[in-house]
């Protein structure tokens, strides 16, 4: 791929442009994209124009740019996230119907929790999670589950980086976080009272592949002082059902005697 004078490839520039879109910044002018991507105006305009021509980006009547449906289609079609989400969805709906609070599914991606799905009742309380949005591993219940079961090098990397306080209750001391991760492994769930925002408590359980590897976390976001026992029981039940649905046991073959065939 052709490199620019600064040495970054066309792919680098493309990714930088796409990364300027966030869950809260979905529409931008080409000039804003150029500035946020750190690219010369002319380069950004040219690449944005090419992306609009292919449908990966779309322009509205005011010539402002947003992510195109074609990009969503291509990205979603064959992503491993799609299967996980599709398999999990009916069981997430059951949790949501019974607990009547936010129910969400996350995977670990580049040292953060990436949310694949969120179901919410209109009456549910506060929640900062967005679908295709991210939360820090150390500060969210899903993130704690994913981090507690991550490879040692991932844990050490996260523990040695500055741990940002999202609220006064976030665990920002590495030794305390280490103890919390051990607790998450021992109890089989993570509770994060007020870690993200003081008014809510996240509760999450792991979803495992047959190998035992944790591939996702299923969580609910409750009002801060709500009891966690019933939501936790629903989460555990859903996790078992999702694990079976992800990897159903082989159908037992009943051998029929020859004379009855
Ligand atoms: C959590 O998973 O701990 C969590 C997520 C979103 C919130 C609050 C808590 O708004």
Residue 171 Cβ inside 6 Å of ligand 1? The answer reads: no
Establish if 5 belongs to a structural domain.
no
Q: Is 235 found in the same domain as 198? A: yes
Query: Where do we find the tokens 């000039």?
Result: 31
Residue finishing a domain among 75, 91, 120:
75
What's the CATH number where 168 sits? 3.30.450.40
User: Among 108, 137, 140, 190, which residue has the most ligand 1 atoms within 8 Å of its CB, making it the best to mutate?
Assistant: 140
Residue 141 Cβ inside 6 Å of ligand 1? The answer reads: yes
Order of all β-strands in the sheet with 190-193: 134-136, 112-119, 102-109, 214-223, 200-208, 190-193
Contact 135, 142 (CB under 8 A): yes
Residue 196 Cβ inside 6 Å of ligand 1? The answer reads: yes
Residue 129 Cβ inside 6 Å of ligand 1? The answer reads: yes
Atom of ligand 1 nearest to the CA of 113: 2
Number of domains into which the chain is organized: 2
DSSP for 87-154? HHHHHHHHHHHHH-SEEEEEEEETTEEEEEEEE--TT-------TT-EEETTTSHHHHHHHHTS-HHH
pLDDT for position 125 = 84
Task: Convert the pLDDT of each residue in 102-150 to its tens digit.
Answer: 999 999 999 999 999 999 988 888 899 999 899 999 999 999 999 999 9
pLDDT for position 244 = 96
Q: How many residues does the chain have?
A: 261
How many angstroms separate the first and last alpha carbons of the chain? 63
Q: Is 227 found in the same domain as 124? A: yes
Q: Which stretches in the chain have pLDDT values below 50? A: none
Q: Is 216 found in the same domain as 87? A: yes
Contact 138, 148 (CB under 8 A): no
Establish if 48 belongs to a structural domain.
yes
Q: Is 87 found in the same domain as 21? A: no
Residue 200 Cβ inside 6 Å of ligand 1? The answer reads: yes
Q: Is 146 found in the same domain as 19? A: no
Q: Is 160 found in the same domain as 224? A: yes
Residue 128 Cβ inside 6 Å of ligand 1? The answer reads: yes
Q: Is 149 found in the same domain as 24? A: no
Establish if 91 belongs to a structural domain.
yes
CA distance 61 to 46: 19
Residue finishing a domain among 32, 58, 75:
75
pTM here is 0.88
Residue 140 Cβ inside 6 Å of ligand 1? The answer reads: yes
Q: Is 235 found in the same domain as 144? A: yes
Q: Is 43 found in the same domain as 20? A: yes
Q: Is 240 found in the same domain as 185? A: yes
Q: Is 237 found in the same domain as 111? A: yes
Residue finishing a domain among 25, 45, 75:
75
User: Among 219, 222, 232, which residue has the most ligand 1 atoms within 8 Å of its CB, making it the best to mutate?
Assistant: 219
Establish if 255 belongs to a structural domain.
no
Axis crossing angle, helix 10-19 with helix 30-37, rounded to the nearest 10: 110
Q: Is 231 found in the same domain as 125? A: yes
pLDDT for position 254 = 64
Q: What is the 3-state secondary structure (H, E, C) of 83-96?
A: HHHHHHHHHHHHHH
Residue 167: Cβ-neighbour burial (10 angstroms; 0-12, 13-18, 19+): middle
Establish if 257 belongs to a structural domain.
no
Which range of residues forms the domain containing residue 211? 80-246
């Amino acid at each position: 791929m052709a490199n620019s004078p600064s040495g970054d490839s066309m792919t680098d520039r493309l990714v930088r442009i796409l990364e300027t879109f966030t869950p809260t910044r979905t529409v931008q002018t080409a000039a804003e994209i150029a500035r946020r991507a750190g690219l010369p105006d002319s380069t950004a305009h040219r690449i944005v124009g090419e992306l609009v021509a292919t449908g990966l980006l779309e322009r509205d009547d005011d010539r402002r740019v947003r992510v195109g449906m074609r990009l969503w289609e291509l990205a979603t079609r064959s992503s491993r996230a799609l299967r996980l989400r599709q398999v999990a969805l009916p069981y997430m709906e059951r949790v949501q119907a019974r607990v009547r609070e936010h129910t969400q599914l996350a995977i670990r991606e580049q040292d953060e929790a990436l949310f694949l799905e969120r179901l919410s009742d209109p009456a549910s309380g506060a929640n900062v999670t967005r679908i295709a949005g991210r939360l820090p591993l150390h500060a969210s219940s899903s993130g704690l589950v994913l981090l507690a079961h991550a490879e040692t090098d991932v844990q050490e990397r996260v523990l040695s980086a500055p741990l940002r306080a999202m609220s006064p209750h976030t665990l920002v001391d590495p030794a305390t976080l280490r103890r919390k991760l051990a607790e998450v492994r021992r109890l089989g769930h993570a509770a994060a009272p007020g870690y993200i925002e003081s008014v809510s408590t996240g509760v999450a359980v792991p979803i495992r592949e047959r190998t035992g590897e944790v591939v996702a976390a299923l969580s609910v976001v409750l009002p801060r002082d709500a009891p966690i026992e019933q939501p936790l029981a629903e989460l555990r039940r859903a996790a078992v059902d999702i694990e079976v649905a992800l990897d159903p046991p082989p159908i037992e073959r009943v051998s029929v005697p020859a004379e009855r065939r």
